[in-house]
């Protein structure tokens, strides 16, 4: 796993995306353009050091005017919104031109318009997904304490449109099904990003992407039991987000906890033994990445390094 460089404002089955069919014009990646906007608290920040700025009714310059209401009408997540809402969202966006390794974070939703980028968690640089043009990245999932996401520009730079969460909430307040779609994508992105914090982050890029694409996301509600002590381990289970408590006795307090990146009961999984403890979601809930035994056997054949990583956990 590649640890992220410290930043002063940072807090300690296929790739999910919604796509725009319309092409977006690119600008020279070496040039960074920021529109002069009035400051507003709690708006997205970028590693270029620009001050927080308000999103509503921002008039982009000619160079960054790459997003229109017609473009948003072709985004799957926004297609059912009325035309006036498309226009409001287009006005409210902030477009960032990022050079290599620059990033945006703290957003509600980001949309890669051009170039290439990676979606990572805030504490490691291992990409959870590679974001090609037209990839939509919602950051707020089901959990109240999820995994923070950032979009990092690749070698050729990237142009990224961002909205703060308040703008998205207002736009979608009468469209709960759109909120559900965004939340589902955000859950998967967060789970992928959280998995890179642990042993899976040591796989090379192609291996990691192959493994992640084969895993399914399972949401555990607060206090929900995933596996009882003494029962067979159902397959590979990786904590993607949230916390899973481990209880040796159900009527006693937890003796340990598994957090993003941790693999549940790797030793019991490889040895065919039963679960040594009960695993249940903590008060914040949890997202797990699951590969049942059949899928896991295929992964062991396709990615031999995976079994080596699990063996190292013994």
Average confidence (pLDDT) over 178-189 = 94
Stated pTM of the model: 0.79
Taken in order of first residue, the domains within the chain and their CATH numbers are: 45-197 (2.60.120.10), 203-312 (2.60.120.10)
pLDDT (tens digit per residue) in 211-234: 999 999 999 999 999 999 999 999
Residue 16's SS3 state is coil
pLDDT (tens digit per residue) in 131-167: 998 899 999 999 999 999 999 999 999 999 999 999 9
User: Higher model confidence: residue 65 or residue 165?
Assistant: 165
Helix (H) or strand (E) holding 101: none
Instruction: Work out the burial of residue 220: count CB atoms within 10 Å of its CB; fewer than 13 is exposed, 13-18 middle, 19 or more buried.
Output: buried
Reading phi first (left if > 0) and then psi (alpha if -120 to 50, else beta), residue 62 is in alpha
Query: What radius of gyration do the chain's Cα atoms show?
Result: 20
Query: How many CB atoms are located within 10 Å of the residue 248 CB?
Result: 13
């Amino acid at each position: 796993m590649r640890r992220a460089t410290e930043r002063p404002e940072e807090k300690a089955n296929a790739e999910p995306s919604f796509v725009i069919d319309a092409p977006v014009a690119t600008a020279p990646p070496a040039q960074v353009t920021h529109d002069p906007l009035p400051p507003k608290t709690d708006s997205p920040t970028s590693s270029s050091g620009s001050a927080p700025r308000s999103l509503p009714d921002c008039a982009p310059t000619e160079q960054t005017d790459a997003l229109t209401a017609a473009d948003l009408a072709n985004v799957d997540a926004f297609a059912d919104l009325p035309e006036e809402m498309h226009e409001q969202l287009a006005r409210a966006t902030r477009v960032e031109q990022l050079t290599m390794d620059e990033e945006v974070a703290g957003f509600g939703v980001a949309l890669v318009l051009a170039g290439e980028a990676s979606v990572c968690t805030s504490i490691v640089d291992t990409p959870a997904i590679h974001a090609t043009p037209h990839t939509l990245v919602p950051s707020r999932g089901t959990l109240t304490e999820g995994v923070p996401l950032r979009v990092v520009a690749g070698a050729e730079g990237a142009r990224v449109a961002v909205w703060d969460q308040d703008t998205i909430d207002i736009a979608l307040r009468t469209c709960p099904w759109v909120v559900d779609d965004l939340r589902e994508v955000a859950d998967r992105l967060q789970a992928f990003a959280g998995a890179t914090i642990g042993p899976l982050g040591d796989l090379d890029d192609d291996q990691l992407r192959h493994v992640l694409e084969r895993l399914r996301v399972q949401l555990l509600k607060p206090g929900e039991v995933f596996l009882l002590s003494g029962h067979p381990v159902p397959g590979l289970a990786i904590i993607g987000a949230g916390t899973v408590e481990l209880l040796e006795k159900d009527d006693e307090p937890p003796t340990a906890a598994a957090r993003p990146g941790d693999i549940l009961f790797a030793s019991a999984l490889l040895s065919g033994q039963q679960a040594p403890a009960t695993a249940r979601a903590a008060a914040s809930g949890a997202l797990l990445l699951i590969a049942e035994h059949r899928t896991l056997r295929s992964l062991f054949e396709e990615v031999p390094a995976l079994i080596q990583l699990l063996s190292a956990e013994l």
